[in-house]
Amino acid sequence: MKRNILIHPDPRLKKLCDPVADISDELRALADDMLETMYDAPGIGLAAPQVGVLQRLIVMDCVKDGDPEPIVMVNPQVLLSSDDLNTYEEGCLSIPEQFADVTRPAEVRVGWLDLEGNPQEKDFDGLWATCVQHEIDHLNGKLFIDYLGPMKRQMMTRKSAKMKRDKARA
Ligand code: K2U
Ligand code: ZN
What is the arithmetic mean of pLDDT over 17-37?
A: 98
Q: Provide the residues around ligand 2 (an ion) whose CB is within 5 A.
A: 92
Cβ neighbours for 75, distance < 8 A, ≥ 6 positions apart: 19, 20, 56, 112, 113
Q: Which regions of 28-113 does DSSP assign to beta strands (E)?
A: 45-47, 57-60, 71-81, 85-90, 100-105, 108-113
What is the arithmetic mean of pLDDT over 84-101?
A: 98
Q: Which ligand is located closest to the Cα atom of residue 99? A: 1
Question: Which pLDDT does position 106 carry in this prediction?
Answer: 98
Could you give the CA distance from residue 122 to residue 115 in angstroms, rounded to a whole number?
16
Helix, strand, coil percent content, the chain, rounded in steps of 5:
35, 25, 40
Residue 49 Cβ contacting ligand 1 at under 6 Å: no
Q: What value does the CA radius of gyration of the chain take, rounded to a whole number of Å?
A: 16
Annotated catalytic sites, by residue? 135
CA atoms in the 13 A half-sphere facing the CB of 56? 18
Residue 136 Cβ contacting ligand 1 at under 6 Å: no
Residue 58 Cβ contacting ligand 1 at under 6 Å: no
Domains in the chain (CATH in brackets) are 11-169 (3.90.45.10)
Q: Which atom of ligand 1 is nearest to the CA of 43?
A: 15
Cβ neighbours for 10, distance < 8 A, ≥ 6 positions apart: 94
pLDDT tens per residue, range 61-92: 999 888 999 999 999 999 999 999 999 999 99
Residue of 62, 86, 90 with the most ligand 1 atoms within 8 Å of its CB, for mutation: 90
CA atoms in the 13 A half-sphere facing the CB of 167? 13
End-to-end CA distance of the chain: 23
What is the arithmetic mean of pLDDT over 92-104?
A: 98
- Reported as a pLDDT band with limits 50, 70 and 90, residue 52 is very high
